[in-house]
A = this chain, B = another copy of it.
Amino acid sequence: MSSALQVTVPDGVPFIDFTREFDYPVADVYRAHASAELMSQWLGPRDLEMEVGRFDFRPGGGYEYTHVAPTGDRYEFRGTFHTVRENDKVIQTFEFLGFPDVVSIETLTFEDLGDGRTRLSGHAVYPTVEARDGMASSGMEEGMKQGYEQLDELLAKSAA
């Protein structure tokens, strides 16, 4: 069984950390982060549709996407890819345009656990502790949980 999402919001420092394990090989988990077509099928809460504008997945590249709610509300995000190393590490910036100029930086690490299993770890750093607190209390954890469940389902279909 894939392991539950673990999110840590440490006191006094502007970090959000998480780990999530998958019962799929690291190459498959990484590929699902490397393609706009795949990412738009799993990232974020189940009830939001994802429209990807730009997705230039390479060091020095960038992305823009919009989550669209059933109400029609639109949530726009953008960032740059500082580091992209296949099956290993992605370091990217992240901005929700609802809070312009509050830009975080996130390191995603893909770890091969053997036996076709993978651990994904994230370390996000916000410009202030207050901005981190705002993100942590925004429903982010539930959105991530649902997103990774959708990723499990997508990987199950690919493996089927």
Contact = CB atoms under 8 A, between A and B. Distances in A.
Interface in A45-100: 54, 60-62, 79-83, 89, 91, 93, 95
Contact of A125 (B60, B62, B127): B127
Contact of A93 (B13, B80, B95, B126): B80
A27 interface: no
Interface residues on A, range: 20 to 34
A12 B14 contact: no
Contact of A81 (B12, B14, B80): B80
Interface stretch (A18-26, A29-37, A101-109, A151-159): A101-109
Given A62-B60, A80-B62, A123-B127, A103 B107 contact: yes
Interface of A: 12-14, 54, 60-62, 79-83, 89, 91, 93, 95, 101, 103-105, 107, 123, 125-127, 129
